[in-house]
Amino acid sequence: MPAIQNIKVSVDAVVFGYQSATGLSILLIKRNVPPFKDSWALPGGLVKDDESLEDAVARELLEETGVSINYLEQLYSFGKPDRDPRNRVVSIAYYGLVRPDNFSLQANTDAKDAAWFAIKELPELAFDHALIIQQAVKRLKAKITYEPIGFELLGEKFAFSALEKLYATVLDRPIDRRNFKKKIMQYGFVEETNEKQALEGAGRPGNLYQFNEQKYFEYKQNGINFEL
């Protein structure tokens, strides 16, 4: 017996922001249309007939928040029959990690506002977007144990403590600092420079570090095993 289908396909973008002072955040939009009008939600929407999933999520993100990101990684498919009260919608979610201060938010189309929210202070969310974010957080925590992060999030030169804080923030737990530094340095994608970090007050300034871009992206493509 042939299957009867009346299914729409949508995309949602889980954009994590990271800043040393504020930690992890999530980019959300305030919906301007029903259902869930005036509720906060992930940027996203229906896929057009003539566009790919990747083009759709990039378009929706740009239209609703003014944010343009070169690459978002596919996360998971969400397809419970009642996840959208209007009709049957299967959503393909994507996620990425960026620096919020690299972007100027501008809500448009279906969004009346766009804002960053601290990951532990999220408002009540529309649809099943709380579940989508939960899955994205789990994926991000798992991902940094086998793939380096930080190139897009830290400055060209940075204190090693900044890298430690980034990993501890994403993992949401303390890390063994000595073991962490030993593991990171043995791979060679982080290099110590002769430049000193600026310190306020007393204390001996430590050296700054930088990413070896070639090795960084080699490991990012091929994977490593941190066992952090």
Residues 13 and 91 in one domain: yes
Question: What would the pLDDT profile of 54-73 be if each residue is shown by its tens digit?
Answer: 999 999 999 999 999 988 99
Picking from 143, 169, 204, the residue at the C-terminal end of a domain is 143
pTM assigned to the model: 0.93
Considering the domain architecture, whether residues 66 and 95 belong to the same structural domain is answered as yes
Which residue segment(s) compose the domain that 27 sits in? 8-143
Domain boundary among 143, 173, 204: 143
Beta carbons of 133 and 14 less than 8 angstroms apart: yes
pLDDT tens for 160-206 read 999 999 999 999 999 999 999 999 999 999 999 999 887 655 567 78
Domain assignment present for 41:
yes
Residues 32 and 113 in one domain: yes
Total structural domains within the chain: 2
pLDDT at residue number 198: 76
Angle at 57 between CA 51 and CA 59, to 5 degrees: 75
Is the link from the previous residue into 85 a cis peptide, with omega within 30 of 0? no
Q: Which long-range contacts (CB under 8 A, 24 or more apart) does 190-199 make?
A: 190/160, 190/163, 193/157, 195/157, 197/159
Q: What is the pLDDT of residue 206?
A: 86
Record the tokens describing residue 200, joined without a space. Answer: 């306020």
Q: Is residue 99 part of a domain?
A: yes
Q: Is residue 181 part of a domain?
A: yes
Please tell me whether residues 134 and 184 are part of one structural domain. Answer: no
Q: CA 28 to CA 123: how far, in whole Å?
A: 10
